[in-house]
Amino acid sequence: MNQTGSFSGARTEKLAFIFTNASGNVIFADRGYLQLIGDLSDRSVSGEQLGNILNVDSESAEKLVANTWRSRRLDQLGIPIHTMDGTILNSMGTSIATRDESGSIIGIDLVLNLSPIPTEANAAPIQTHADVVKAFVENTMVEGGRQYSRTFLQSYLVAQVEVIQILLSRISGVAARNAFEMVVNNVAKSKALPISMQCGHLEFYRKDINIQDYRGFINSIIGYAVDVLGRQVVKREVLMVDKFIGSGTLELISQMDLRIFLTE
């Protein structure tokens, strides 16, 4: 299957994403950021202290978490990033307190702008969790097609899987996230799919996958998340991804009946 898609409207900045749980421990960091700091290893960052991932002292990390809880959103955070080649990249960050339906804080969305682009050239400011998901999906779709040699549909699946696992970690803990990864790998193996999930990152090692296999895979992994979190919680987050993937890709996955139980 050689599918194509279109995606436009992505932000012009180079962004990095770090997500924490309610305790301020990191549950996911995007692949680009981990490569930048030289920490894309065989271990998961899930459960790590935020200070360890940002390479700042624990007091500064705890202050960032506490201030985010109190203010709900912090803008224009100066965060120096220690890259793997020994240089320091000065980034500007936005930290957002993410809440569940009841209003309880379930984590922090931390978005780092790595590009020295003037403010007037940037897209609209990131102010809410939905804005973070939008930027995260755009980054996944664009980078997946350009850097990691994925099709648009595979990049879409990566975005969905990673958003689901972040939600699982925040609400049900690291054990649920680890079980989700096991489900992903077991389903992929049972269907002989060229898919592997390691340390929270979904990988494809060839581009062609039968559409029927995609359907079965998506059914299984979303089904696990629904069993743990409930249908409406999962549906809301997954539909948010669909909202931001671009009209061309959304049309493709709709035509292929890949939006399992996710119609409005």
Domain boundaries, the chain: 15-144, 148-255
Residue 210 to residues 153, 205, 252: CA-CA distances in angstroms?
12, 14, 14
Reported as a single tens digit per residue, the pLDDT across 109-139 is: 999 998 765 554 556 688 899 999 999 998 8
pLDDT at 4: 44
pLDDT at 161: 92
pLDDT at 68: 94
pLDDT at 6: 47
The top-scoring range by mean pLDDT among 43-47, 57-61, 206-210 is: 57-61
| Average pLDDT score over residue span 16-45 | 84
Side by side, the strands of the sheet bearing 25-29 are: 48-49, 25-29, 15-20, 105-113, 88-99, 73-82
In the chain, the amino acid numbered 113 is: N
248 membership: H or E segment, kind and range = helix 247-255
Reported as a single tens digit per residue, the pLDDT across 158-178 is: 999 999 999 999 999 989 989
The top-scoring range by mean pLDDT among 46-55, 141-150, 205-214 is: 46-55
In the chain, the amino acid numbered 27 is: I
Residues in CB range of 262: below 8 A, 6 or more apart? 235, 238, 239, 242
Residue 217 pLDDT greater than 70, yes or no: yes
When the candidates are 3.10.180.10, 3.40.640.10, 3.40.50.2300, 3.30.450.20, the CATH number that belongs to 15-144 is 3.30.450.20
pLDDT at 205: 84
pLDDT at 224: 92
